[in-house]
Each structure stands twice: as structure tokens, then as C-alpha cells.
């Protein structure tokens, strides 16, 4: 799909490390505190063993599925990551075009280099969901939801694992700060200009949610939009069940790519228990450490309806902008298709826990 330099997703990461400025690279790659969870996300995938079935006519494979009723061509979607303009001038518009071309879902970060309107306009294909936090100022939250609706987004993702920003030691060493200060945050320009936010302090207000937020805020967000609500950052059965009670439409098992509370398990290690607990009441997605087609296969087998990728998209952008993101998606798609053939799965529905070794199903 790509070229001899980028054969698998890890190659894009190596390219990015070599070619991005030190501060940008560290901002993207780092995790919170001692980075235990960051490493665990990827390591845990490697511990899972597969049980392939044979002689099942896998001559054609169908990778299509649906999320919240909308068809996507691959069960591999894009997580929101901030400041994509630091990786490549194509920025989020390049990611939008790549995800549209692959007819998959892209979640727009609110802390984006381009405005959500420009990102949605860049490509009409695929499905766009808007990521928001419960910001301290409800006027900002409400306006962002309404703008997302108007721009054609089909879902509101509320990131609930960032009531404060996790501390990134490596960022502190190179930049003395934990978020890049030089980045443009297009979505909030408007609120600075019309006085809803203060131009000098807004960055501290928008980079995380309100620490006083509760489930009542989720009810409130539901009341201000007709769009489905997806909660991103659920890591326990307990919270998953509360999410069901609050009638959200879906949850994403996520630990923010190991950037928030260090010491939580890998997402793949809690996925099965969470997806079993919620059953078919709401859809369950996951992200964190997905880097190969077999990772996708394992996550789907353990109960994810679709997986999302964060850093690999940024590294694809760093490699070749929009083309690089397409390369990343194509490689993962090809790898998943091959893994399905070799494990005896012709369609996404055929992928279930029977292809994962029993001892991997719970609490490894």
C-alpha cells in the first residue's frame, strides 16, 4: 500500500520520530507519568493468542459494518487527536479526506488546528463525529454541539476521562509545559473574539473538561441535541452500566492512549468484561494501542463493534499528509482482511470470542 519504507504502522512512528520537531514528537508520543499504561496498551495485544479455523471458504471477505446505524467500509475508525497541523499542513482536512475516501468514521478533536466547519467541508464522505469536553462554560459546550450539528456531524463524543490534563513528564522536560502553546486552536477563535472567552487564558479552559462535571452534565448534553451521544473514556463495568442507565447511545473503552491516569489497565484487557456487561444495550468501541490487523481482529473478537486509532493517524500525516493517512488505513485494512482469511472469518459478524484462547478472555 505505501512503499518499502512504511510496510507496517510502526514504520510511520519511526518516520515521525525522525522528522518531526522534538517538541511535536514528544507531545504526540508521550503518555502520563511513568507511561505504564501507554506501554501496556500495546503489550497486552501481543499477549493474546488466536485460535484460527480452517476450510471455511474465505475467498471473499466483507469488512463492512455499521456504527449507530451508519454503514462504514472498515471497522477501523479515527480517534480525536489535537493539533494535527503540527504534523503536516494538510492537518485535519487531510485526515477528513482520507477517512471519507475509506468511508469510515472520523472523530474531530475540538482542539484542532482547523475549524470543525473546515474539516467537515474537506470531504463529504464517511461519518464525522464531534468530540467535546464538558467545558466550564456551558455556552461554549452548547454552541460547539450546535455548530457540529450544522456542519453535518452525526454524533457527539463526550470525552469523560479528562477532567484535568494528565501530567506528561517528557513534555515538561522539553517544553516546560504539558501542551504545546504555539498551536492554533481554530474552534475557539470565535469565543475569544466575541468575549465569551479570554484570549490569554482560554487555552487552559479548553484543554480539559470541568473537574466538577457529573452524570447530570451528560443528561444536559443529551437534552440540547438530537444527535447520538458516545461517551469516550469508560474503563470500568460500573461506569459502563451507569452510561446505559443514562441512555447514551454508545461508549468507547479508552484510557486516552495512556495519557491520563497512569496505572489503569490496557483497554484490550477490560474490553471483554465491559462489552459482556452492557450486552447489546449499547454499542461498545475501543481505542488504545491498535497497530496491526490482528489487533483489530482481537478487539472485535473481544466485543468491540469497531476500533479507533489515534497516534498512527498523526504519524501518517507526518509521513505524507493526506496520502500518509490513506497509507495507514490501507495497511490496516489489508492486514485485517488477511487476518480474517487466516482465522476463518469471512465477515465482521464471524469474528467472535471463539477465535481467542480462553485464558485471554478475562483478566490476563
Q: Are 115 and 96 in contact (CB under 8 A)?
A: no
Single residue of 311, 320, 326, 333 touching ligand FNR by CB under 6 A: 311
129 vs 145: CA distance, rounded Å: 10
Residue 246: CB atoms within 10 Å: 14
CB neighbour list of residue 59: distance below 8 Å, 6 or more residues apart: none
Q: Rg of the chain's alpha carbons, rounded to an integer?
A: 19
Minimum CB separation of residue 134 from ligand FNR in Å reads 12
**What x/- string results for residues 61 through 90 when contact with ligand FNR is judged by CB under 6 A?**
------------------xxxx--------
In whole angstroms, the minimum distance from the beta carbon of 198 to ligand FNR comes to: 21
Q: Which of 28, 102, 135, 188 binds ligand FNR (CB under 6 A)?
A: 28
What x/- string results for residues 167 through 206 when contact with ligand FNR is judged by CB under 6 A?
Answer: ----------------------------------------
Which stretch, 7-15, 53-61, 256-264, 350-358, contacts ligand FNR (CB under 6 A)?
Answer: 256-264
Q: Please tell me whether residue 293 binds ligand FNR under the rule CB under 6 A.
A: no
Among 309, 318, 336, 348, binds ligand FNR (CB under 6 A): 309
Burial per residue of 111-146, b for 16 or more beta-carbon CB atoms within 10 angstroms, e otherwise: bbbbbbebbbebbeebbbbbbbbbbeeeebbbbbbe
Interface stretch with ligand FNR, choices 1-9, 68-76, 239-247, 305-313 (CB under 6 A): 305-313
Query: CA–CA separation, 95 vs 90, rounded Å?
Result: 8
256 an active-site residue? yes
With CB under 6 A as the contact rule, the residue among 77, 91, 111, 271 that binds ligand FNR is 111
- DSSP class of residue 253? E
Instruction: Name the residue with the smallest CB distance to ligand FNR.
Output: 310
- 3-class DSSP assignment, residue 155: strand
Q: Should residue 41 be labelled a site residue for ligand FNR when binding is judged by CB under 6 A?
A: yes
Closest CA to 337 of 306, 299, 292: 292
Contacts with ligand FNR by CB under 6 A: the residue count is 23
Q: Which stretch binds ligand FNR (CB under 6 A): 90-98, 188-196, 215-223, 286-294?
A: 286-294
Nearer to ligand FNR, 272 or 307 (CB): 307
Q: What is the dihedral of CA 295, 300, 304, 305, to 10 degrees?
A: 120
Q: Taking Cα atoms as reference points, which of 252, 284, 281, 286 lies closest to residue 268? A: 286
CB 51 to ligand FNR: min, Å:
26
Helix (H, G, I), strand (E, B) or coil at 55: coil
CA gap 134, 299 in Å, rounded = 28
155 binds ligand FNR (CB under 6 A): no
The two most distant CA atoms of the chain are separated, in Å, by 66
Nearer to ligand FNR, 58 or 81 (CB): 81
Which of the residues are catalytic? 256
Q: List contacts with ligand FNR (CB under 6 A).
A: 27-28, 41, 79-82, 109, 111, 131, 159, 232, 254, 256-257, 259, 287-290, 309-311
Amino acid at each position: 500500500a505505501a512503499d518499502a519504507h512504511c510496510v507496517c504502522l510502526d514504520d510511520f512512528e519511526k518516520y515521525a520520530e525522525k522528522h518531526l520537531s522534538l517538541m511535536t514528537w514528544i507531545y504526540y508520543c508521550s503518555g502520563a507519568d511513568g507511561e505504564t499504561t501507554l506501554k501496556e496498551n500495546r503489550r497486552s495485544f501481543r499477549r493474546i493468542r488466536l485460535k484460527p479455523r480452517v476450510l471455511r471458504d474465505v475467498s471473499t471477505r466483507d469488512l463492512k459494518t455499521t456504527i449507530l446505524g451508519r454503514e462504514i467500509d472498515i471497522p477501523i475508525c479515527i480517534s480525536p487527536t489535537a493539533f494535527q497541523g503540527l504534523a503536516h499542513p494538510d492537518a485535519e482536512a487531510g485526515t477528513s479526506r482520507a477517512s471519507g475516501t475509506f468511508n469510515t468514521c472520523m472523530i474531530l478533536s475540538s482542539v484542532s488546528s482547523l475549524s470543525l466547519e473546515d474539516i467537515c467541508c474537506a470531504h463529504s464522505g464517511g461519518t464525522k463525529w464531534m468530540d467535546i469536553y464538558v467545558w466550564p462554560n456551558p455556552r461554549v459546550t452548547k454552541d460547539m454541539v450546535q455548530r457540529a450539528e450544522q456542519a453535518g456531524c452525526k454524533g457527539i463524543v463526550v470525552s469523560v476521562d479528562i477532567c484535568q490534563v494528565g501530567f506528561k513528564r517528557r513534555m515538561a522536560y522539553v517544553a516546560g509545559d504539558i501542551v504545546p502553546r504555539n498551536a492554533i486552536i481554530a474552534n475557539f477563535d470565535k469565543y475569544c473574539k466575541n468575549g465569551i472567552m479570554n484570549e490569554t487564558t482560554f487555552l487552559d479552559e479548553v484543554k480539559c473538561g470541568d473537574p466538577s462535571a457529573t452524570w447530570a452534565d451528560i443528561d444536559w448534553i443529551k437534552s440540547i441535541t438530537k444527535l447520538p451521544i458516545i461517551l469516550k473514556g469508560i474503563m470500568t463495568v460500573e461506569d459502563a452500566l451507569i452510561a446505559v442507565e443514562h441512555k447514551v447511545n454508545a461508549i468507547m473503552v479508552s484510557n486516552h492512549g495512556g495519557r491520563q491516569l497512569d496505572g489503569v489497565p490496557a483497554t484490550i484487557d477490560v474490553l471483554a468484561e465491559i462489552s459482556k456487561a452492557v450486552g447489546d444495550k449499547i454499542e461498545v468501541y475501543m481505542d488504545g494501542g491498535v497497530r496491526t490487523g490482528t489487533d483489530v481482529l482481537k478487539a472485535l473478537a473481544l466485543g468491540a463493534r469497531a476500533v479507533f486509532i489515534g497516534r498512527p493517524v498523526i504519524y501518517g500525516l507526518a509521513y505524507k499528509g493526506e496520502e500518509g493517512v490513506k497509507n495507514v488505513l490501507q495497511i490496516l485494512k489489508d492486514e485485517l482482511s488477511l487476518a480474517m482469511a487466516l482465522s476463518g472469518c469471512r465477515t465482521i459478524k464471524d469474528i467472535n470470542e471463539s477465535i481467542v484462547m480462553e485464558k485471554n478472555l478475562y483478566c490476563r
